Amino acid sequence: MSSSSMLFRGGRGIRLLAFQYFPTLTTASASSSIRIVSFSSYPYPTSYKIFSSNHCTFQNIFTLSLTSPSGCGVVGCSKMASAAGGEDGHFKLSETSELIIKKGDITRWFVDGASDAIVNPANQRMLGGGGADGAIHRAAGAELREACYKVPEVQPGVRCPTGEARITLGFKLPASRVIHTVGPIYDTDKDPKASLSSAYKNSLTVAKENNIKYIAFPSISCGVYGYPFEEAATVAISTVKEYANDIKEVHFVLFADDIYNIWLNKAKELLQA
């Protein structure tokens, strides 16, 4: 979403009100004391999460003390700036879908806490690990590991084969869901391009099946699994272009400057031709 947004919990569930200009509320700009609240409609319509504002860098953040008509309170602000600096890259994937490339920490990303998901570059056991996987598990809390543990094994020690995807709740993460996928280990996979493409495609498929409208990917396989960045960017962006369909926004949230620059240049090459 290019605008900030607010969530109200009303008598009949969640309403997301997006607004771009809210002149009466734009006077305060301090971000240090603001609570960020995101409501989750899945699986329990009344559940909600509260975060300190420090988990995100906000631009033009404002204080709110609003009450919804039903008397249920406050609200969230979902605008996430590129925490590490640099402009976000915006690209059109289709008439209804946008690609956004930004620097940052994927564990802090969210849009509305209800129809958003981050993708975890996991391993086949799906019980946590290093890199982004470790960071996501730490931020989500122990319940994420418990949820992963309940995902049935398809072979001993394999909950998610390479190229497939599974979904859990996000627990303490600001995003509502985590889609776990396993990218290829570049040096040992028989067809790393196909496996990496499957990881992106199946993550998007699982997202659509779960009514996810906003999804954030890291650069799958570009860390411990050793995938060359340039080729990974080509596979990632071309696969997302092909399969994004009903997803409103696909974000790449990239930790490292070099990967961010490669992704941005590749998106210009593939999507602005």
Rounded-to-integer distance, Cα 207 and Cα 111, Å: 15
Exposed/middle/buried for 207, CB within 10 Å: 0-12, 13-18, 19+? buried
- Contact flags string 243-262 toward ligand AR6, x per CB under 6 A: ----------x-xx--x---
Report the nearest approach of ligand AR6 to the CB of residue 89 (Å). 16
Respond yes or no on whether the N-terminal peptide bond of residue 161 is cis (omega within 30° of 0): no
Cβ atoms of 82 and 104 within 8 Å: the answer is yes
- DSSP state at residue 87: P
Catalytic residue among 112, 116, 133, 189: 133
- DSSP state at residue 203: H
Choices 58-66, 93-101, 124-132, 159-167; region in contact with ligand AR6 by CB under 6 A: 124-132
Cβ atoms of 119 and 203 within 8 Å: the answer is yes
- Identity of the residue, 133 or 189, whose beta carbon is nearer to ligand AR6 in the bound complex: 133
Tokens standing for residue 271: 């999507």
- Contact flags string 72-111 toward ligand AR6, x per CB under 6 A: ---------------------------------xxx----
How would you classify the pairing of strands 98-103 and 89-92? antiparallel
Q: Number of C-alpha atoms within 13 angstroms, CB side, residue 117?
A: 28
133 is catalytic: yes
Q: Which residue is associated with the tokens 């569930």?
A: 13
Residue 158 found at the interface with ligand AR6 (CB under 6 A)? no
Work out the angle at residue 79's Cα, subtended by the Cα atoms of residues 4 and 52, and round it to the nearest 5 degrees. 115
The only residue of 76, 165, 223, 264 in contact with ligand AR6, by rule CB under 6 A: 223
The only residue of 72, 83, 84, 135 in contact with ligand AR6, by rule CB under 6 A: 135
The only residue of 84, 129, 193, 205 in contact with ligand AR6, by rule CB under 6 A: 129
The only residue of 151, 158, 224, 270 in contact with ligand AR6, by rule CB under 6 A: 224
Site size toward ligand AR6 (CB under 6 A) is: 25
Instruction: Using CB under 6 A, list all residues that contact ligand AR6.
Output: 105-107, 121-123, 129-133, 135, 183, 218-225, 253, 255-256, 259
- Report, as residue numbers or ranges, the catalytic residues: 133
